[in-house]
């Protein structure tokens, strides 16, 4: 059995990962911010460069570092990049050095496709592409990857990095949840004319990839892009969402150029770009070197997400 410390254990990805790790026989130690609630959890407080990890790392074989300052659409921080660096870079370095000092063997870091960039044109991103992060979140993840490589070289800690695109599944939040809700409510969406391709990953597939990085000897010192392996256009995604939800897909034709123009006028360019641009990743290295395959197809992942959504909406309605 492998003892695995998971940071961000109570979050969207962390919850799914801890469940799978336990089912596979791993000993899971959950790092949480608030007071610990059970023998398998440890409270570490707010994660930052001064966090004390000593109580969490004893006897741990592998750290999976999920906790991060996530991408913020409306950032109110006075210095957003500095805040991203404090949590996503400095805190990661502190944890990695503490792990190495505690003789932890492996450190799996969840990064982001934003390290590669925001959009693709003629081909998917690969791990060999020159990183071109554009926003503070992507910059901080790339800097964290570089810092981890340095720590690994100095200490012998085995570091594996996964760069993920948009993650969906039960418990999803943010833009994906907003789109899911709009489709469930039958809201007409002016997105029928979009011709793009986006890579996504189901949270269960991402959990499987993390577990492969925990165990596989070839994962040490490597960076992998991860996705479901079947890219879809925005209209295709909405049709698949509608089928899973049992709702109609109400898509209206509208020139994408006008959508972008209106988005620029109203300060919504980032949101519209995620609906109109392409962003694809090549998962060939993960397949070849670790023998990983995504087990859950888009339709199945969306069906699980839809069941969760209906249960959530039903539970909320029953209390109103």
Give the residue numbers marked as catalytic: 137
* Residues in contact with 14: Cβ distance below 8 Å, sequence separation at least 6, in sequence order: 6, 7, 8, 30, 66, 67
> DSSP letter at 219?
G
Copy the structure tokens of residue 211: 């577990």
Which single residue is written with the structure tokens 């919850």?
Answer: 15
Task: Return d(Cα 75, Cα 62) in angstroms, integer.
Answer: 33
Q: Contacts for 126-134 with beta carbons within 8 Å, 24 or more apart?
A: 126/225, 126/281, 126/282, 126/284, 126/285, 127/163, 127/223, 127/224, 127/225, 127/285
Residue 80: what are its φ and ψ, rounded to 5°?
-55, -45
Beta bridge partners of 110: 162
């Amino acid at each position: 059995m492998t003892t695995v410390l998971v940071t961000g254990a109570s979050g969207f990805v962390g919850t799914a990962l801890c469940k799978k790790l336990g089912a596979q026989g791993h000993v899971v130690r959950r790092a949480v911010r608030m007071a610990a609630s059970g023998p398998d959890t440890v409270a570490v407080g707010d994660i930052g460069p001064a966090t004390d990890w000593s109580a969490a790392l004893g006897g741990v074989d592998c750290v999976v570092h999920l906790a991060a300052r996530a991408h913020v659409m409306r950032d109110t921080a006075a210095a957003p990049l500095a805040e991203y660096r404090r949590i996503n870079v400095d805190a990661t370095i502190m944890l990695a050095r503490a792990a190495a000092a505690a003789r932890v063997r492996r450190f799996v870091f969840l990064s982001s496709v934003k390290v590669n960039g925001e959009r693709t044109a003629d081909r998917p991103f690969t791990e060999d592409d020159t990183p071109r992060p554009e926003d503070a979140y992507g910059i901080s993840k790339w800097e964290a990857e570089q810092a981890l490589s340095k720590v690994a070289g100095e200490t012998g800690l085995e570091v594996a990095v996964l760069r993920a695109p948009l993650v969906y599944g039960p418990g999803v939040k943010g833009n994906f949840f907003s789109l899911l809700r709009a489709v469930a409510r039958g809201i007409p969406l002016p997105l029928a004319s979009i011709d793009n391709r986006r890579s996504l990953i189901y949270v269960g597939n991402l959990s499987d990839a993390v577990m492969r990085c925990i165990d596989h000897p070839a994962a040490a010192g490597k960076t992998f892009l991860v996705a479901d392996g079947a890219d879809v256009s925005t209209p295709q995604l909405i049709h698949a969402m509608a089928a899973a939800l049992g709702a109609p897909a109400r898509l209206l034709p509208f020139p994408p150029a006008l959508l972008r123009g209106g988005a620029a006028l109203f300060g919504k360019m980032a949101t519209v770009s995620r609906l109109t641009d392409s962003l694809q990743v090549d998962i060939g290295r993960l397949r070849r070197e670790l023998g990983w395959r995504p087990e859950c197809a888009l339709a199945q992942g969306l069906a699980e997400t839809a069941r969760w959504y209906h249960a959530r909406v039903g539970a909320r309605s029953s209390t109103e």
